[in-house]
């Protein structure tokens, strides 16, 4: 018997896949297939099942959804014997929602999964010797309380089947909205803000944007909270210039303690990109304030800001330690955002240069430097892979230490190539995707640098994502 769609099987989950899914090697066919047991046993030896929502250590009953020759994707039907690592997830929607993949796994095991994920990517993609990686990998830094850690959320608006306006989260791999305003990762104010907006939409007949037709008005809302300052930001992203009765909405939101910034952002493009380019303030300030350690930051709706402030403090602390600054160094901070790492390092360096592609973020970075009385920083708008080579070739700039913190796609090769040519003694690579980190470390490893220390920081509990800080030193 071949394994085919709709087969019901029993399997023990022995591993966790990169997407957080459970992995099992086929054990026994389900009882109703007992008559073909002998044949199936023979053919299916080594057959792998990928089961979303199954936890390592579970024995589960699954239904095959898509079968290939040696493996199949299957749906979890029933947990027959729960894993000792299985926990009760706090969110009722965790199986549908695309946000959390590891909620049913104990936090300790989540950390173990992430530690292994980094290690495997460095070995498999980076091509490093496993022993070498084990020797320089430090234990991942987790959270004490791994819930409600996110300072930012973006909720889409749309309609349910009955035509009611809804907001919540996209279901995994789709743009169907699951109406849940009470996310276990977000701040408690999210719910009240969303309820006010939904009430307002109903009262004034404000239509939600519909991706299929490109019609409608309210697309998303961005909510941010400064954990240290308590300040709240609400930015409404609209497919038009104005919301009807927008001041009334701003006044209503203003009643929430901490509300500091209510704005609209215009995005009239038919695109998946959430934010448009222009922000118009409805009430209060355009930016909110927050601090990490003793550095204060002003953050605009368009700028990137790390989503988990508690862990960000630890992440930057680790980057600072790896940078090994004595006060004499010239540091380049590539992909610097609003200058968070730059300003953190500037306190211990001679000079820090930051490079970032988003002009608003660089404006924030400059303002943040002034606000903190930091005078040894300079910031440039542009692509790291263009600014760095230009500065190096035209002005012959020097770097003792280079810090990079690129988005998931990692560094452009042109950027890596210039970094190597600049010959800094140390490179600190902060990465949110250990697969592209592996690729880039391979390049740096082949071009004069040695991986000296690696450490994961769990910025995203409940999900499969993990941040990694790596120290590379120039080989003698
Ligand atoms: N170091 C910052 C930001 C890291 S996120 C912090 O910790 O807050 C990555 C940043 O890279 C984003 O701000 C993004 O706008 C920026 N970016 C993306 N592509 C870029 C490129 N090619 N060159 C420079 N910056 C880029």
Q: Where are the domains of the chain?
A: 8-86, 120-144+308-474, 152-290
Give residue-wise pLDDT tens across range 287-330. Answer: 999 999 889 999 999 988 999 999 999 999 999 999 999 999 99
**Most informative mutation of 318, 354, 388, 407 for ligand 1 (most atoms within 8 A of CB):** 407
Catalytic, 136? Answer no
Sequence-distant (6+) residues with CB within 8 A of 314 are: 141, 457
Spell out which residues line ligand 1, taking CB within 6 angstroms: 304-306, 335-337, 340-341, 355-358, 361, 383-385, 405-407
Give the Å distance between the CA of 338 and the centre of ligand 1.
9
257 close to 183: Cβ distance less than 8 angstroms: no
pLDDT along the chain (476 residues), means of 10: 89 94 78 46 69 97 95 97 96 89 96 97 98 97 97 96 94 88 94 97 97 95 97 98 97 98 97 94 97 92 93 97 97 96 96 96 95 97 97 91 98 98 98 98 98 98 97 97
189 is in an annotated binding site: no
386 is in an annotated binding site: no
The predicted pLDDT at position 427 comes to 98
Give the Å distance between the CA of 410 and the centre of ligand 1.
10
**What CATH architecture is 120-144+308-474?**
3-Layer(aba) Sandwich (3.40)
392 close to 422: Cβ distance less than 8 angstroms: yes
**Most informative mutation of 345, 406, 436 for ligand 1 (most atoms within 8 A of CB):** 406
Fold adopted by 152-290 = OB fold (Dihydrolipoamide Acetyltransferase, E2P) (2.40.50)
335 is in an annotated binding site: yes
Closest ligand 1 atom to residue 312 Cα is 7
367 is in an annotated binding site: no
The predicted pLDDT at position 174 comes to 86
Fold adopted by 8-86 = OB fold (Dihydrolipoamide Acetyltransferase, E2P) (2.40.50)
Give residue-wise pLDDT tens across range 381-409. Answer: 999 999 999 999 988 889 999 999 999 99
Please check whether the two domains, 8-86 and 152-290, share a CATH topology. Answer: yes
């Amino acid at each position: 018997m071949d394994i085919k769609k709709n087969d019901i099987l029993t399997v023990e989950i022995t591993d966790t896949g990169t997407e957080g899914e459970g992995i099992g090697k086929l054990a026994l066919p389900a009882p109703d297939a007992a008559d073909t047991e002998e044949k199936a046993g023979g053919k299916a030896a080594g057959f792998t099942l990928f089961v979303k929502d199954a936890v390592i250590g579970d024995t589960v009953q699954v239904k095959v959804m898509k079968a290939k020759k040696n493996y199949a994707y299957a749906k979890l039907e029933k947990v027959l014997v729960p894993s000792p690592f299985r926990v009760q997830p706090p969110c009722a929607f965790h199986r549908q929602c695309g946000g959390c993949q590891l909620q049913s796994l104990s936090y300790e095991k989540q950390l173990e999964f992430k530690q292994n994920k980094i290690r495997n990517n460095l070995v498999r993609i980076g091509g490093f010797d496993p022993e070498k990686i084990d020797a320089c990998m430090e234990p991942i830094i987790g959270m004490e309380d791994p819930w409600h850690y996110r300072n930012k959320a973006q909720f889409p608006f749309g309609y349910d089947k009955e035509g009611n306006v809804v907001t919540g989260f996209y279901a995994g791999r789709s743009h169907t909205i699951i109406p849940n305003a009470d996310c276990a990762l977000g701040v408690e104010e999210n719910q009240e803000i969303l309820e006010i907006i939904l009430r307002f939409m109903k009262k004034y007949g404000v239509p939600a944007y519909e991706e299929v037709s490109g019609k409608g008005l309210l697309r998303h809302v961005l909510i941010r909270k400064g954990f240290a300052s308590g300040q709240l930001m609400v930015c409404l992203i609209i497919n038009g210039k104005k919301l009807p009765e927008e001041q009334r909405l701003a006044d209503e939101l203003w009643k929430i303690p901490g509300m500091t910034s209510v704005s609209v952002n215009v995005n009239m493009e038919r695109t998946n990109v959430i934010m448009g380019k222009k922000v118009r303030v409805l009430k209060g300030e355009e930016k909110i304030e927050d601090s990490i350690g003793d550095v204060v930051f002003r953050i605009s709706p368009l700028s990137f800001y790390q989503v988990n402030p508690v862990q960000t403090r630890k992440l930057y602390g680790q980057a600072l330690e790896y940078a090994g600054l004595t006060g004499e160094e010239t540091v380049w901070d590539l992909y610097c955002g609003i200058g968070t790492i730059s300003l953190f390092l500037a306190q211990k360096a001679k000079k820090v240069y930051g490079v970032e592609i988003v002009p608003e973020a660089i404006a924030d970075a400059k303002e943040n430097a002034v606000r903190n009385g930091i005078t040894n920083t300079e910031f440039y708008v542009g692509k790291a892979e263009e600014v760095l080579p230009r500065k190096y070739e035209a002005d012959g700039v020097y770097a003792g230490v280079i810090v990079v913190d690129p988005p998931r796609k990692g560094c452009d090769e042109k950027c890596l190539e210039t970094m190597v040519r600049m010959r800094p003694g140390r490179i600190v690579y902060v990465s949110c995707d250990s697969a592209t980190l592996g690729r880039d470390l391979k390049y740096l490893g082949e071009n004069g640098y040695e991986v000296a220390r690696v450490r994961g920081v769990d910025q995203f509990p409940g999900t499969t994502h993990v941040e990694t800080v790596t120290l590379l030193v120039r080989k003698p």
